Amino acid sequence: MSVFSLFNVVAICALVSLCFENSSADELNGVVVVFRHGDRTPIRPYPTDPYGNRSLWPVDYGMLTNIGKMNHFKLGQWLRQRYSQFLPEVYSERDIYVRSTDVDRTLMSASANLAGLYPPVKTDIWNPDLQWQPIPIHTIPESMDPVLAAKKECPKFNRLEKELFKTQYFKNLSHQLHDLYAYVTKYSGDSIHDLKSLEYLYSTLFIESNYNFTLPEWAKGVFPDKLKPWASLSFVVPTWTEEMARLKTGPFFNELIGYFRNRTQKNVQYYAPKFLMYSAHDTTIANLLNTMEAFEPHPPPYTATIIFELWRTQNGTDFVQTFYKNTTEPRQFAAKGCNLNCLLPDFESKLKSISIPLDQWESECQSGWPFIYYLMLGGMVSTILCISCIVSLAVYRLKRKSELYMQLPNEEYYA
């Protein structure tokens, strides 16, 4: 099975200024940003990790560090500068809506970002000695979230992923990486048997090297050069096919398109704010980019950001621009082969095949089990019911028999 536009090159502006070649009459009408959290500590040390002692790290495992807080504070300042003419300085819940996955480091990243985006001014100043103001951040448990965390249970996706790993490509890949898996398993003490577990190890080594820890000799032989290509490839797996991408990112794109529609309509019951902010993970960034056929496999860095901008021309034509910022300046790209200035109807049309409403997503996910599974499940339930009936009947008969042979008051016994 072929990669879902795996190596489609991102369209890059020759100059940053070219990314903003809109007519002076064009009006920015809506912005959606999705970013990865800031710098963090390793999620967990590997068994033989010489730096597995919690005391060696500034905060607990998987938590946002002070560097990470500053990462996002500066990104917030950058967003303030970029949208100074669009987003009012004084905070209003009618201007911005913030959502995060239900993870400490993403919630904290959103908070630090907002501190840079909305330093209190004018009526927002509530404490002259504190250049900060509370701004709501919305979230739901990851196990209930199919939109941003994309971790709500989806049996059909799980089945598709298992089928993917049985394809000849992945069988060959597993054979190709056998020695590498065996090597890192032996020396790390962890079970490294697939791309995902390999990426976890790569991430830990990357963070430790960032913190100037000297890596073990065995790790120097494979990090980063021998591990990075496969760690990068792991980010493509969840959206490898269009069907998988639809189940993994479809609810997000459905929400995105719905938001743009609301921004282009007047007098609608639901008021759509000017700015949507989503705080998430490297997997989120990779999944969205790859679904839009704009992902060059790589581990998305801290604060990597996707930007969707909705514009309206003087004659009332709506179009969308998409950007990816993983360095100093954002790079414009064409979403699913649309033009850089993608007309909104074309943007919707290009994403139609992968966009899916939540109720339909729920239905498709639960219908993902093959019919044989339902037969097996029905057979198990029937068997359990039959056994229960047989046991109940046996107990009843024993009880009844005991009652039939109870001693009567005038009954005589013989030796």
What is the pLDDT of the chain when averaged over all its residues?
87
pLDDT given at position 327: 86
Supply the residues annotated as catalytic.
37, 282
pTM for the model? 0.84
pLDDT given at position 315: 93
Confidence of residue 25 (pLDDT cuts 50, 70, 90): confident
d(CA 271, CA 179): 56
Confidence of residue 395 (pLDDT cuts 50, 70, 90): very low
pLDDT above 60 (res 19): no
Higher pLDDT, 359 or 6: 359
pLDDT above 70 (res 276): yes
The 10s digit of each residue's pLDDT in 109-159 is 999 999 999 999 999 999 999 999 999 999 999 999 999 999 999 999 999
| Average pLDDT score over residue span 73-102 | 97
